[in-house]
Amino acid sequence: MNRDRSAAGDPELLGATAGEDEAKSSIEGLGWLPGGDEVLFSRQGLWVVPIGGRREPRLVPTPGHRPDAFSVSRDGRRLAFTRGSMDLDIWRMPGPRSGGEAGEGLVDGHSLIGTTMGESNPQYSPDGKRIAFTSARTGGLQIWVADADGANAVQVTSSRAWNGSPRWSPDGRYLSYDEVARGSVKGAKGDIVVIPTGGGPARRVTPPDSHEHLPSWSADGRSIYYESDRTGELQLWKTAFPSGESVQVTDAGGAAAFESPDGRWVYYAKRGPPGLWRKPVAGGDEERVTEHGHAMFWGTYDKGACTLDPLSDDVTIECFDFESMRFSTIARFPNQGRVRPTGPSFGVSPDGQWIL
């Protein structure tokens, strides 16, 4: 820089973080370290890069946190920062059939699956032994699978797209999920994709010229439900797997569907109004089951369904039995910003023992 504070030369790249590509988020914080020989910046983590030499950034460990904007003290011994907006963990609490009383839920302060990046979209496998979820721990949003206790996480997808909303096929052999191209502008089209749970070639099962989101499997594993705008409005559709034959299920809105275990009913939420609806799988009129429930925050187990309300001052989890339609409150606790209404973020174990 010249004395008049004008630029003294062309800008130079200091360094790129490992695995960086055009889809990664921008630098969120920047500052000099004492001595003026190194620069500290935050980008999917906290990094230090020298201004001379090879300029290779090195990651600064910040266990349990992902810093965004920050400020460094003049002596370089202290750092104040804000936590990243994607710094989300997956929590586990007792479910409707755990035998416990309605309690404080998440107040124990322990997450089941967590990194310094975002973890979301948890879903139990049909046998309850594994959990599929979305993670940004390698940069982009990809599908991962872990043991039911959160251990031994394995990455299933590694595409250049953003992947979310994983759902298991009833036999546990496949995962369906929604996929949107990285770096896409707002309103970009999503597709429903199926991949073997052990990894392998992925197969798109929906057309490319419409937007599809939030898949789930029929009880017999022969079809996949999802939200689609191919008629110009968001409706619930169903596609046979693997043939690809598609039919429209609703004409008054529908999203985030789950079939009952006996295959008689398809339950679903809608965009906008809270509540859950159902229709006979064989065809017929829809009926409203409850005024509780949001498209991103509900799930089923072998005997019923549970809903979560993250929008009130107190987070409330309620469950109902498919046969009696009787509701009970499982947990109620102060929100305090811990449960965020961002994406599909709710799952119940098949036996009803646990809620994610």
pLDDT 10s digits, 269-301: 998 788 999 999 999 999 999 888 888 899 999
Can you list the domains of the chain with their CATH numbers?
1-85 (no CATH), 90-355 (2.120.10.30)
Mean pLDDT across 218-231? 96
At 319, list the tokens.
């469950």
Judge contact between 267 and 276, C-beta under 8 A.
Answer: yes
Residue 18 pLDDT exceeds 50: no
Judge contact between 300 and 289, C-beta under 8 A.
Answer: no
Which residue shows structure tokens 């910003």? Answer: 337
Name the CA radius of gyration of the chain, rounded: 23
* Residues belonging to the chain: 356
Residue-wise pLDDT tens digits, 56-104: 787 776 655 667 788 888 888 888 877 655 568 898 988 998 875 544 4
CA dihedral 140, 110, 85, 162 (to 10 degrees): 20
337: left (phi over 0), alpha (psi -120 to 50) or beta: left
> Considering the entire predicted model, what is its pTM?
0.76
For residue 244, the 8-state DSSP code is: -
Euclidean distance between CA atoms 70 and 51, whole angstroms: 20
Euclidean distance between CA atoms 194 and 189, whole angstroms: 17
The pLDDT score that the predictor gives to residue 341 is: 62
The pLDDT score that the predictor gives to residue 23 is: 39
Question: Nearest Cα to 155, choosing from 215, 200, 124?
Answer: 200
Give every CB contact of residue 247 below 8 A, 6+ residues apart in sequence.
Answer: 237, 238
Residue 312 pLDDT exceeds 90: no
Euclidean distance between CA atoms 51 and 40, whole angstroms: 11
Neighbouring CB atoms inside 10 A of 236's CB total 26
Confidence band for 22, pLDDT divided at 50, 70 and 90 = very low
Report the first-to-last Cα separation within the chain, whole angstroms.
Answer: 53
Strand partners for 309: 316
What is the CB-side half-sphere exposure of residue 67 using CA atoms within 13 A? Answer: 21
